[in-house]
A and B are shown apart, each in its own frame.
Chain A
């Protein structure tokens, strides 16, 4: 397990030889690549390659160094700098670029001399909240969040409740004919009881999320189609 503390400490003091600096950059590139592989999808990484060209890892590693310089007081207070620590900073850097329109601002080269001169990044006055995020970022976050929500729903609901949820979604959202043996009125009463439980799990009404259609589609494919298969086999 590599400790990056010493090499970063020497980097902050501008004491690295050009060979050592190159080796640090290579390691940072590996960490960024791992962050893409483990924490993002291949599609997201391909977008970086498409918009920023084949040197995207090189440029991101420069930006990661910039962030580390900014955080140097906190970094130096840690006795051990594990690569997970650096990966967590790289992850936010990737999100930052995803939040930009058309990936415009990746700088190709950073002048480290200038960075050493400026103690603090300039304070930004009247920062505005982002009204909209690029579709690619919203889609990505939605997919993560919904995949997790469906896993939690599966773990928290009883088999009867999952059956009820599927009955509601298939009947009322997809207008499909369902072959449940339970009386429709009973299922409807069960559904009324289930709604508040779903709200408690999700934190919002099931139809109020950013993309209810995606939510229903995921429930249908991950939970209902399996149940449907069981019911059909039971009936045959």
Chain B
């Protein structure tokens, strides 16, 4: 029995350049939620902008990813988009990325907009679909890897930029007992240890010093003046009216990996 998927995956890998070439668009158009945009790269990658995160003048977009490699991306009930003007058919991949406004404007070409009703379907597919352990899964991880430099750079740039807007953060001391209980994660090591996190309604960055670690949390600007509860590992560390949208949690134990914070840090309004 011939395995076309295997042959297609091999062909796709051969098409990849040793160094990705990103081409600037001739007539940049500012990105908006629901835009369909083509990243100027080969083999092509397409994006549908799902959400916009704004902090002062800086914008970051959450984007669903689409591909032309139909047989490699098709997992059964996969959303499909047809672009009649360029005779192209696209298929969604089950993950999303964060990209900065300036990056999208410079390197992606607007092709159209999706309807409001389809927005939810794309979000659900990106968040809920399990990536299989087949070559189709390997292909999806490969596209993720291709986008990783722009995804990570966007997150870091965004945090760096919004960091310059705020003078002094709101400092919250974590109780020692809670800090000690976090030592249970001292043996945890994720495949790719990271220092930047995105929660449902916050961004957070880890600041490592010699003997301690601090966590800086950025909340949406419109939370200021509202009652906010912050819980770490189920324990309340802050409750009250928010005066600043930059919060510093001081201090966490020194650990190898802080990925657990994505699960254990909860901000409620």
Q: Which residues of A contact B74 (CB under 8 A)?
A: 141, 145
A100 to B1, CA, bound (A): 28
Q: CA separation between A63 and B7, bound complex, in Å?
A: 25
Which residues of B lie under 8 Å from residue A67 when comparing CB positions? 86-88
CA distance A200 to B133 in the complex (A): 6
**Which single residue of chain A is at the shortest CB-CB distance from B125?**
A129
Contact present for B136 and A148 (CB under 8 Å):
yes
**B210-235: which have CB < 8 Å to A?**
none
Given contacts A141-B74, A147-B2, A151-B3, contact A127 B114 (CB under 8 A): yes
- Interface positions of B from 116 to 136, Cβ below 8 Å from A: 118, 121-122, 129-136
Tell whether B77 is near chain A: CB-to-CB under 8 Å: yes
Counting CB contacts under 8 A, is B85 at the interface? yes
B42 is an interface residue with CB less than 8 A from chain A: yes
B83 x A124 contact (CB < 8 A): yes
* Complex partner residue of B70 from A141, A204, A210, CB under 8 angstroms: A141
Whole-angstrom CA separation of A148 from B130 in the bound complex? 17
A136 contacts the other chain (CB 8 A): no
- How many Å lie between the Cα of A91 and that of B72 in the bound state? 12
A39 to B17, CA, bound (A): 22
Q: Are A125 and B1 in contact (CB under 8 A)?
A: no
Segment from A73-81, A160-168, A171-179 that makes contact with B: A73-81
Q: Please determine whether B15 and A84 come into contact, CB atoms closer than 8 angstroms.
A: yes
Q: How far is the CB of A150 from chain B (nearest CB, A)?
A: 7
Cα of A91 to Cα of B8 in the assembled complex, Å: 11
Give min CB distance, B120 to chain A, whole Å: 11
Q: Mark A67-106, 1 if CB is under 8 A from B, else 0.
A: 1001101110110000011001001110110011000010
B206 at interface, CB cutoff 8 A: no
How near does chain A come to B258, taking the closest CB pair, in angstroms? 27
Does A227 touch B at the CB level, under 8 Å? no
Instruction: Report if A133 contacts B (CB, 8 A).
Output: yes
- B75 at interface, CB cutoff 8 A: yes
B189 adjacent to chain A (CB < 8 Å): no
* Interface membership of B187, Cβ < 8 A: no
B:73-106 near A, CB below 8 Å: 74-77, 79-89
Interface size on B, residues (CB 8 A): 60
Which A residues touch B131, using CB under 8 A? 203
Give the shortest distance, in Å, between A125 (CB) and chain B (any CB): 6
* Residue pair B136, A145 in contact (C-beta under 8 Å): yes
Q: Interface residues of A, CB < 8 Å — how many?
A: 55
Chain A residues with Cβ below 8 Å from B68 are 88, 91-92, 95
- A124 and B21 form a contact (CB under 8 A): no
From A99, A129, A152, B135 is in contact (CB under 8 Å) with A152
The answer to the question of B113 belonging to the interface, with a C-beta cut-off of 8 Å to chain A, is yes
Whole-angstrom CA separation of A105 from B137 in the bound complex: 33
Please give the distance in Å from A33's CB to the nearest CB on chain B: 17
B141 to chain A, nearest CB (A): 13
- List 14 contacting pairs A-B, 8 Å CB cutoff, sorted by A: A38-B7, A70-B86, A88-B15, A91-B68, A124-B83, A127-B81, A127-B112, A128-B114, A147-B3, A147-B5, A148-B6, A151-B3, A203-B75, A210-B76
List the 7 closest A-B pairs by CB distance, nearest first. A203-B132, A124-B112, A148-B5, A121-B85, A130-B80, A92-B68, A203-B130
Interface residues of B (CB under 8 A from A): 1-8, 11-12, 14-15, 17, 21, 23, 25-27, 36, 40-44, 68, 70-71, 74-77, 79-89, 110-115, 118, 121-122, 129-137
Additional A-B contact list (12), CB under 8 Å, known A129-B81, A130-B79: A74-B42, A84-B11, A85-B42, A88-B11, A125-B113, A129-B80, A141-B74, A145-B76, A148-B136, A204-B130, A210-B76, A210-B77
